[in-house]
Amino acid sequence: MVPRDVHLSTLPPDVVEIVPQYRGYSFALVKDEIVVVDPATYKIVTVLPYSGKSTATTTSTTRERSASKFSDRDRDAIRKHAKARPEGRSERQTTGSTARTEIHVGDRVPDSVEVEEFPSTVYRDAPDLREYRYIHRDTRTYVIEPRERRVIEEID
């Protein structure tokens, strides 16, 4: 059983397409594992290994797709927003070297970095993004889980 305060995300449609018996389930990433959960009962359905960097086998590719938080439609809505930003950058700037630090999926965003809500047009096109925030650096947009301030996806 997963504690009720654990943030669960809806399984992406491409995962349900691969494993239809997981339709309606949610998941959480815990260390190097994908924990698939019945959202009604918070019971663990299965635990899958996750290795986000490996691309050597079909199994690892399936793991990467399973761990993906967003659909292609969600990503397209984010890209459309990023292109529409004035000069492609936020007016807000961070201080010190934080703005130039490399950002990776799984990193915690420092409190000194301001994370933003997506505009309503993004939520209209991609309602699953409503619970997330983002930062934009150079040509990339990073989707942030706001409670833990973790980077959960990089979109270019």
Query: For 14-21, what is the mean pLDDT?
Result: 78
For the cut 70, the answer to whether the pLDDT of residue 55 exceeds it is: no
| Mean pLDDT rounded to a whole number for the chain | 75
**pLDDT over 60 (residue 68):** no
Out of 47-51, 81-85, 107-111, pick the least confident. Answer: 47-51
**Least confident range of 37-41, 94-98, 106-110, 126-130:** 94-98
- Per-residue pLDDT at 155: 87
Between strands 43-49 and 26-30, the pairing is unpaired
Predicted local confidence at residue 52, as pLDDT:
57
Average pLDDT over residues 129-155: 87
Q: Are strands 33-38 and 9-10 parallel, antiparallel or unpaired?
A: unpaired
User: Residue 29: beta bridge partners?
Assistant: 34
Nearest to 113 by CA among 136, 131, 87, 147: 136
Mean pLDDT computed over 29-56: 75
Which positions ≥6 away from 21 have C-beta within 8 Å? Answer: none
